[in-house]
Amino acid sequence: MTNGDEREPPEANIKSYRQRYDTHERIPAAGRPRDAILAEMEEIASLEEERWHDGFASGSVYHGDQDHVDFLSKVYTINSQANPLHTDIWPSVVKYESEIVSMTASMLGADESGAERGTPAEICGTLSSGGTESILLAMKTYRDRAREEKGITKPNMIVPTTAHAAFHKAAQYFNIELVQIPVDADFRADVAATEEAITENTVVLVGSSPQFPHGVIDPIAELSELARSRGIGFHTDACLGGFLLPWAHRLGYDVPPFDFRLPGVTSMSADTHKYGYAAKGTSVVLYRGQDLRHYQYFTTTDWPGGLYCSPSFAGSRPGALSAACWAAMISVGEEGYLESARRILETAAKIRSGVAAIEELQLFGDSLFVSAFGSEELDIYKVMDAMAERGWSLNGLHKPACVHLCTTLRQTEPGVAERFLEDLKQSVAFVSDQPDWTGAMAPIYGMANTIPDRGVVRDALRDHMDSWYRTR
């Protein structure tokens, strides 16, 4: 354990290759040999694999088995030149993406929604680059529909305080007022507060299944019915749980309805690159009916470059990622998803039980696979730093101050859960014995959690992002 004064600044962690490898600020006069480039990249990848391969990272890598990774890499190589913008050249991507959307919709209640496939009312959707884009697309869709059909020019969306930051981004990008409603003692969205917040300018209500911080499922049935009764859209954000909760339900776990089985749910987001085990860079956004999906599309008919259309934000896209996503879903299959869910949920239950047994810690929220915990006695961010000293990469959270571990297949490997709990006990004991110890991130998280001037925190985050792009 090192003294806080001896730590490198946080920026050093993301710029750790400066001293080890050449930095390129300009295109080299002569190209480097490919073998040398590959050798360097393989070495870097090997260094980084140590941070997640043995299950020491929360979330981040949801599968990680080498055979699976190698399989998806081969699929990507085969399809590396594919671009969905040119469907005439690569109709294969049309096949892959349409089937990904159909399979995801079926998993999320389309077959029980009452909407017949092949009709304008069907549950439909598109692929996106990730959960954030799926959410942005859906929020843009509701804004544009409300403007076109209801003449709403000052739209607002109502979201729980625990909803993903992507909704804040959508509000900023698309000039939608963000109305946040509180959560109850169990971290579930307050339905009564939601109803009270609705105005004539409300275009969509939002609920999470589950929300990221504590892994808690919002009361989707009540919220979506409230939206339906008021003629408002409802979006279920299932980016995190969309490819895990359906299988948990099949395994007999108590998972309340959250998908298109509920008539008030009009759109959903679900990340294929999380528990769908696809390569990073794909997600699905779904809609109840083609008319709603049309508000997501972009078309132009008078550009000198010709007729142009794009279903999502990007024009050119990596068709190889779509192919890898399709291959992942087809290769895993229902049996694979069920078995993976079983292992994850059993491991998460073991971890949650172990955390609850540590006297100084308290579990937050009732979750099937996220273990969020805080402490009334200790600085939980120091505990997080002490865990980092032992190789763990956990998520620091705010309001209330806590830390979480999102369980993936990495933690289901033999001995990983036991190692986590033992390291957590030791970290708690260390922080208890060394209350003046200062970790690397604890002061930063502590400041961000308590400082009233959010502009100061915002400036710090901007400076942090600036550091990503500095080469010196």
Question: DSSP letters of 223-247?
Answer: HHHHHHHTT-EEEEE-TTTTTTHHH
pLDDT computed for residue 1 by the predictor? 39
Say if CB 269 and CB 235 are below 8 A apart.
yes
Summarize pLDDT for 265-293 with one digit per residue, the tens.
999 999 999 999 999 999 999 999 999 99
Q: What is the CATH number of the domain that holds 130?
A: 3.40.640.10
| 313 vs 315: CA distance, rounded Å | 7
Confirm whether 425 is domain-assigned. Answer: no
Confirm whether 35 is domain-assigned. Answer: no
Helix (H, G, I), strand (E, B) or coil at 125: strand
Here the tokens at position 245 are 């909760």
pLDDT computed for residue 311 by the predictor? 95
At position 24, the amino acid (one-letter code) is H
Give the mean model confidence (pLDDT) for residues 99-125: 95
Comparing C-alpha atoms, which of 407, 405, 402 is closest to residue 361?
A: 402
pLDDT computed for residue 102 by the predictor? 97
pLDDT computed for residue 451 by the predictor? 65
| Residue bearing tokens 């942090």 | 464
Q: Please check the confidence at residue 80 and state whether its pLDDT lies above 60.
A: yes
- For 199, 405, 417, the CA distances from 410, given in Å and listed in that order, are 45, 12, 10
| 468 vs 130: CA distance, rounded Å | 21
Cα torsion for 180, 182, 186, 192, to the nearest 10°? -110
Confirm whether 144 is domain-assigned. Answer: yes
Comparing C-alpha atoms, which of 249, 215, 212 is closest to residue 334?
A: 249
Confirm whether 45 is domain-assigned. Answer: no
| 423 vs 415: CA distance, rounded Å | 12
Summarize pLDDT for 392-425 with one digit per residue, the tens.
999 999 889 999 999 999 999 999 999 999 999 9
Here the tokens at position 431 are 């922080």
| 227 vs 159: CA distance, rounded Å | 12
Summarize pLDDT for 319-341 with one digit per residue, the tens.
999 999 999 999 999 999 999 99
pLDDT computed for residue 2 by the predictor? 38
| 202 vs 233: CA distance, rounded Å | 9
Cα torsion for 228, 205, 273, 412, to the nearest 10°? -90
DSSP secondary structure code for residue 169 in this structure = H
Q: Please check the confidence at residue 11 and state whether its pLDDT lies above 60.
A: no
Confirm whether 249 is domain-assigned. Answer: yes
Length of the chain: 472
Cα torsion for 105, 108, 114, 120, to the nearest 10°? -30
Here the tokens at position 110 are 């389309």
pLDDT computed for residue 445 by the predictor? 67
Here the tokens at position 9 are 């600044």
| Residue 460 pLDDT level (bands cut at 50, 70, 90) | confident
Say if CB 214 and CB 365 are below 8 A apart.
yes
| pLDDT top residue among 455 and 338 | 338
If you write DSSP's letter for every residue of 344-406 in order, what string do you get?
HHHHHHHHHHHHHTSTT-EEES--SSEEEEE-SSS-HHHHHHHHHHTT-B-EEETTTTEEEEE
Within a 10 A sphere around the Cβ of 118, how many other Cβ atoms?
A: 6
Average pLDDT, the chain: 92
* Domain total in the chain: 1
Helix (H) or strand (E) holding 422: helix 416-433
Taking the whole predicted model, whether its pTM rises above 0.75 is answered as yes
Q: Please check the confidence at residue 362 and state whether its pLDDT lies above 80.
A: yes
Confirm whether 149 is domain-assigned. Answer: yes
Say if CB 370 and CB 404 are below 8 A apart.
yes
DSSP secondary structure code for residue 66 in this structure = H
| 403 vs 215: CA distance, rounded Å | 12
Confirm whether 322 is domain-assigned. Answer: yes
Provide the domain limits for residue 292.
Answer: 91-328
109-118, 173-182, 437-446, range with greatest mean pLDDT: 173-182
- For 207, 398, 401, 435, the CA distances from 451, given in Å and listed in that order, are 28, 12, 13, 21
| 198 vs 176: CA distance, rounded Å | 14
Q: Please check the confidence at residue 48 and state whether its pLDDT lies above 90.
A: no
Confirm whether 196 is domain-assigned. Answer: yes
| 289 vs 296: CA distance, rounded Å | 12
